[in-house]
Amino acid sequence: MSPLHARKHLVSVEEYLAGEQLSEVRHEYIDGQVYAMVGASDRHGLIVMALSLLLGGRAREKKCQFFIADMKVRLKISGQDIFYYPDLLLSCDATDRETYFRQHPCLIIEVLSESTERIDRREKMLAYQTLPSLEEYVLVAQDERRVEIYRRRDEWQPEIVNEGVFHIDCLDLSVSIDDVYLDVGW
């Protein structure tokens, strides 16, 4: 059989979840296929940390669970199981407590990078919009001061913020752009 006709080995959800517990590299999962994730830049890490500090306290006050980078979100779309690792994930649903993933987040934030921006803007955005619990999807640039907030209540039309503050409805919290980018030096 030629390589073009060889069948790819599909990984079950159970195999994927077990493998992720042992792996030093994180992988995303799309309908049986596993994809290694790339590392992040210093700016990416600084922005994620700033956002976690800015949002984390309010998440606790509201009895929500807030995760940075290592918690998967599980989606089921047209019978396909999908697991992504968002940069930041907020779940305020007390029943959403699986050990290795969440299924009912109200907020997902991705910090854009050159290697992930296309996927974050298209594939993930469309996939995340299928989550009935998701209220907001936020994209944060790391090469310029730019935050894009997509809200279900606004039919996923973007609110683009370059200066001042933006509001996170899930947490009823206003956040300063200056604070998001403070450690980046802009």
- What are the residue ranges spanned by the domains of the chain? 40-72+84-184
Reported as a pLDDT band with limits 50, 70 and 90, residue 1 is very low
Residue 65, both tokens: 């669970």
Reported as a pLDDT band with limits 50, 70 and 90, residue 39 is confident
Residues 141-186 have pLDDT tens digits of: 999 999 999 999 999 999 999 999 999 999 999 999 999 999 998 7
Architecture of domain 40-72+84-184: Alpha-Beta Complex (3.90)
Residue 7 has pLDDT above 60, yes or no: no
What is 71-138 written as a DSSP string? Answer: -EEEEEETTEEEEE--SEEEE--TT---SSEES--SEEEEE--TTTHHHIIIIIHHHHTT-TT--EEE
Percent of the chain with pLDDT over 70: 96
Rounded to an integer, what distance in angstroms lies between the CA atom of residue 164 and that of residue 75?
34
Residue 52, both tokens: 């976690």
Residue 23 CA neighbour count, 13 Å, CB half: 15
Q: Are 169 and 136 in contact (CB under 8 A)?
A: yes
Rounded to an integer, what distance in angstroms lies between the CA atom of residue 86 and that of residue 75?
12
pTM for the whole structure = 0.92
Q: What's the confidence (pLDDT) of residue 168?
A: 98
Residues 82-121 have pLDDT tens digits of: 999 999 999 999 999 999 999 999 999 999 999 899 999 9
